[in-house]
Amino acid sequence: MSTPTKKSINNAIINAKCPQCRAGNMFKHNWWQVTKFAKFYQHCPYCNLRFDREPGFFHGAMFISYAMIVAMVTTAWFILYFVFGNPAMEVYMYTIVLLNIVLLPIFFRYSRVLYLYAFGGVKFNSQISKHSK
């Protein structure tokens, strides 16, 4: 268990904390641990909130992941077109595939975090949070 000093919603989302207590981690490992980045707690290790709100709840996170990838592809296209002067089509393809592979852990995690915060129906409970160690 970690104990963040600030409990703002922005810090909680950035650090992938539980939406109810903002103290417990949602993921077991850091995003840069390539083979383990997707390991997810079923329940908050601090307040025991069930993260998977209902069976198949996180399937909806695919829509957020899709939006993130569209934003990434659009940004990559803009940079390649306007900064690098419209290179060959292969450069676009390799750049986008490489960015997708490199950013996969971030898209995966933050799509789930944002989906849980937006549609999980969980409110921050400062009473639970006060008992942080």
- Provide the binding-site residues for Zn ion, judged by CB under 5 A: 18, 20-21, 24, 44, 46-47, 49
Nearer to Zn ion, 105 or 120 (CB): 120
Cβ 73 to Zn ion shortest distance, Å: 34
Q: State the virtual CA torsion across 58, 64, 69, 72 in degrees, nearest 10.
A: -140
Cβ 35 to Zn ion shortest distance, Å: 26
**Joined tokens for residue 40:** 């997810």
Nearer to Zn ion, 89 or 130 (CB): 130
Nearer to Zn ion, 36 or 43 (CB): 43
Nearer to Zn ion, 39 or 43 (CB): 43
Report helix, strand or coil for 81. Answer: helix
41/39 Cα distance (integer angstroms): 7
Cβ 119 to Zn ion shortest distance, Å: 17
Cβ 120 to Zn ion shortest distance, Å: 12
**Treating both helix axes as pointing N-terminal to C-terminal, what angle do 61-78 and 89-119 enclose, rounded to 10 degrees?**
150
19/26 Cα distance (integer angstroms): 9
